[in-house]
Amino acid sequence: MQADITDFAGYPARSEGRFATVLDSTLFHSLPVEDRDGYLRSVHRAAAPGACYYVLVFAKGAFPAEFEARPNEVDEDELRDAVSKYWEIDEIRPAFIHANVPQVPGAPFEMPPHPRDEKGRMMLPAYLLSAHKAG
C-alpha cells in the first residue's frame, strides 16, 4: 500500500477515526510548509475521538541559517497556530532531539554550539507538543 499523509488518499476503507494515539517524531518539520495543513487534517481524520497526538519537532535555530537542507524548523507560536486548527493543545514544552552530529573539518557550514549529552550526541533544540482530539 502507498498513501500520501497530506491528503489521506489511498488509505484503506474504515481507517478514519481508528487510532487512539498518533506519534509524530520529526515528520512535521520535514514536510513543506504548504503541506502542513493537509497533513494535520489527515492525521486528525485518522484519529479516534479523544485520541492523543504527540509531536517532536525541531525548534528554530537548531540548524545554521546557511545549511540549505535544513528542516522547516518552527517557533512555539507557529506550531500552536498550525496544530490548534484541528487539535486541542494540552502542552508545548521545550525539548531536545539527540543526534550523532560529527564535527567535520572543512564543512561548508558549522553547527551552532548546542550542548552534547553523556554519549556525545548533539542536543538540538526542539518542541514536544501534546494534544488531544475533542469528542
* Number of domains within the chain: 1
Whether residue 11 lies inside any domain: the answer is no
Least confident of 32-46, 61-75, 76-90: 61-75
Q: Is 7 domain-assigned?
A: no
Instruction: Please write the tens of the pLDDT for every residue from 80-135.
Output: 999 999 999 999 999 999 999 887 788 777 888 999 999 999 999 999 999 999 97
The answer for residues whose C-beta is within 8 angstroms of residue 128's C-beta and 6 or more apart is: 54, 55, 56, 91, 92, 93, 94, 95
CA distance readout (Å), 89 to 21, 30, 44, 130: 14, 21, 13, 6
pTM of the model: 0.89
- Kindly report, residue by residue over 36-53, the tens digit of the pLDDT: 999 999 999 999 999 999
pLDDT tier at 5, thresholds 50, 70, 90: confident
The Cβ of residue 78 has, within 10 Å, a number of other Cβ atoms equal to: 17
Structural domain of residue 83, as residue ranges? 19-132
